[in-house]
Homo-oligomer: A and B are copies of this chain.
Amino acid sequence: MKLRYFLLLLFASLGTFGAPLPQSQEPVLFKDVRIEDPFWSPRIEANRTGCIPANYKMCKETGRLDAFKPEYKGGRHIFWDSDVAKWLEAGYYSLQTTPNPELRKTLDEVVADIIAMQETNGYLNSYFHYADPKGKWQYLRHNHELYCAGHLMEAAVAHYYTTGKRDFLDCLCRYADHICETFGPKENQMHGYPGHEEIELALVKLYKATGNKKYLDQALYFLDERGKEPLYFALEEGKRGGDTNLWQRDKNYHQIHKRVRDQDEAVGHAVRALYLYSGMADVARETGDLGLLEACKKLWTSVCERKMYITGGAGPYLGNEGFEGDYVLPTSHICNETCAGIANAFFCHRMLSLTGEGKYADILEKIAYNNGLSGVSLDGRSFFYNNQLLTFDPEPGAPREHIRKGHEHPDLHRREWFGCSCCPPNQARFVASIGGYIYAKKEDSLFINLYIGSETTVPLKDNKVRILQKTDYPWDGKVVVSVDPEKQGEFEVALRHPYWCRRYNLTVNGQKYDAPMEKGYLVIKRNWNKGDKIEFTMDMPVERVYANQRSKELRGRVALQRGPVVYCLETCDNATNDLDKLLLPKDGKIEAKFEAGLLGGVVALSGKAFLEESAKDNSPLYTTKTPKGREVDFKAVPYYAWDNREPGSVIVWLREE
């Protein structure tokens, strides 16, 4: 080990540096960005008019909202608070974009109920307050209390940024204070950590909103306690009369198989893991902790370079909603949970902020246009928990409303709600907060991470710059950026060069600009004036994507992608419901065409495929005759938009001839 590196690690191991890492980006918060974009504005509007009300309706119907009230007589559940919190968070984000007094009133009423329920010591959980007061903090491994606390903190921070009012934030600070008192290294404290990670990243948010460093320290405590022997969860099981000898798979499930700084492979429950890694990256960024940074880099590589779906999702295994081995990427009967994709976006965004490297934004973008949107229907009213890449619908064309409410074929079509309904409100908050992922700054540099029509004003070291983006991305590769500094001055505008982009043209004020590439960004460093204009035009051909040959499931298969958008085939556009019978010829021409009337306006792909289907229905089980078939037209649509028309099957990875 090199001495310099050793010393850095030594410092890191001594605790927090107390200063952000110098290479980091500071994201421009959602509250400071206004979106006006042909792709995202309709998504945000569907989120506001469809998804957020749908979440409200189901939270109300199922008792989740009333569970905060003392007069409520129905059942309660240990993770209900988190669903409500994510809906609140989404709601307050949404109010930023579009004021809505009725929604504001609904949200504020629920917030008032939550605040009113808080115990005098700060404790705040509707299940344990009413249904099991003696159970508080007694079973961290499975009881989701710290998880719910984290989501409430995130909601309170969103509430604070949107409304400017401190009451909900103060309420959650009191809860956080109680948690800081309860959990810690002192003898009279519990040496525990959450069974479902989330509070780590939430405590950092609370720290950033309040400036109270105690919350950052508490996040670090939870991280560093994790995986310490003897394992807290083992001791807890012992106290409960259970088996203190935890199985390896259970340790993996909770990411307690190693100390977090020693972890280098993503294992266990995918959402738990990705929330943990996000919290690690947050703490690393705020404290300059290089040990955490190195672990985060390894874990990100494990997730995004060895275990990630082409759509940005992760966690194939249905049995534990978890990761599999490297390159294990089955396409049907998979988990690939909506929340895991979104959690991966969180992790990528934090790695981007932490390192300033464009490759993290590449995957953030991949999620934003694929798995991060596939969880919700175009009208915002139905949801996937699991995101399949290959399905076979035994009843294509069945009535949509029946499917939405029904329990049959749970993974084939989107549904209204789930017993464990973490995904619908997560989807709502992700879309509502997309504005927070577009821009970032660092001293005199301004970063454009996502190409979304939008406007923001960013204070740089000695200046203040208004940025206006206009684009038809992801359908068209042209992005026009107006740069309006408050005063003339030299600074950098860094445009992310997407990983999929092989050719581009870049001009500033109509003149070709030869920008150097730094960490995945095209950096334009010049003396800027009001009214300066960048034109960045990326070639966007249809591309054939192949998986690493170590992926047994994806060998011999090809996916279609254009720009960041991954495509799929659906029954309703194609000659068969059994889409895996289609073979894509290796050298067939594929046409891309924008269709304004299709799925809210998308670029669809079309070409010729070979349908391997015998005419006879009574063909034998085994035969020596070469399989027969015929040439057919195929049509592909963006994966995120599938299952919005006549119900049927889907395929992403086609066999290639």
A residues sitting closer than 8 Å to B (CB atoms) are 304-306, 308, 310, 327, 392, 543-552, 555-556, 559, 578, 580-581, 583, 586, 612-614, 619-627, 655
Contact = CB atoms under 8 A, between A and B. Distances in A.
A624 B502 CA distance: 11
24 contacts: A304-B621, A305-B621, A327-B621, A543-B624, A544-B626, A545-B623, A545-B624, A546-B623, A548-B619, A548-B623, A549-B612, A549-B619, A549-B627, A550-B578, A552-B578, A555-B580, A555-B612, A555-B627, A555-B655, A556-B583, A556-B612, A556-B655, A559-B622, A586-B626
Nearest to A581: B549
A620 B549 contact: no
Contacts of A627: 546, 549, 555
Contacts of A655: 555-556
How many copies of this chain does one complex carry? 2
A327 B622 CA distance: 10
A552 B392 CA distance: 10
A332 B621 CA distance: 19
Contacts of A623: 545-546, 548
A305 B620 contact: yes
Contacts of A625: 546
B622 A547 contact: yes
A621 to B, nearest CB: 5
A548 B306 contact: no
A547 B478 CA distance: 48
Contacts of A327: 621
B546 A624 contact: yes
Contact of A621 (B308, B614, B619): B308
Contacts of A622: 310, 545-548, 559
Given A546-B626, A546-B627, A621 B306 contact: yes
Nearest to A547: B622
Contacts of A304: 621
Contacts of A547: 621-622
Nearest to A583: B556
Contacts of A549: 581, 612-614, 619, 627
Nearest to A306: B621
A614 B555 CA distance: 12
A397 to B, nearest CB: 20
A70 to B, nearest CB: 37
Kindly name the residue among A306, A327, A547 whose own CB sees the greatest number of chain B CB atoms within 10 A.
A547
Contacts of A548: 619-623
Contacts of A392: 552
Contacts of A550: 578
Contacts of A551: 621
A500 to B, nearest CB: 8
Given A549-B612, A555-B627, A556-B583, 10 more contacts: A310-B622, A545-B622, A546-B627, A548-B620, A551-B621, A552-B580, A555-B612, A556-B612, A559-B622, A586-B626
A304 B544 CA distance: 40
A336 to B, nearest CB: 15
Given A622-B310, A627-B549, A555 B581 contact: yes
Residue picked from A308, A549, A613, A621, most chain B C-beta under 10 Å? A621
Contacts of A546: 622-627
Q: Considering the complex of A and B, which 5 residue pairs feature the smallest CB-CB distances, nearest first?
A: A543-B624, A548-B621, A545-B622, A305-B621, A546-B627
A150 to B, nearest CB: 30
Nearest to A310: B622
A266 to B, nearest CB: 13
A78 B552 CA distance: 41
Contacts of A581: 549, 555
A620 to B, nearest CB: 7
A630 to B, nearest CB: 12
Nearest to A586: B626
Contact of A544 (B578, B612, B624): B624
Contacts of A614: 549
A612 B548 CA distance: 10
A621 B305 CA distance: 6
Nearest to A614: B549
A159 B552 CA distance: 50
A386 B558 CA distance: 32
Contacts of A626: 544, 546, 586
Nearest to A628: B549
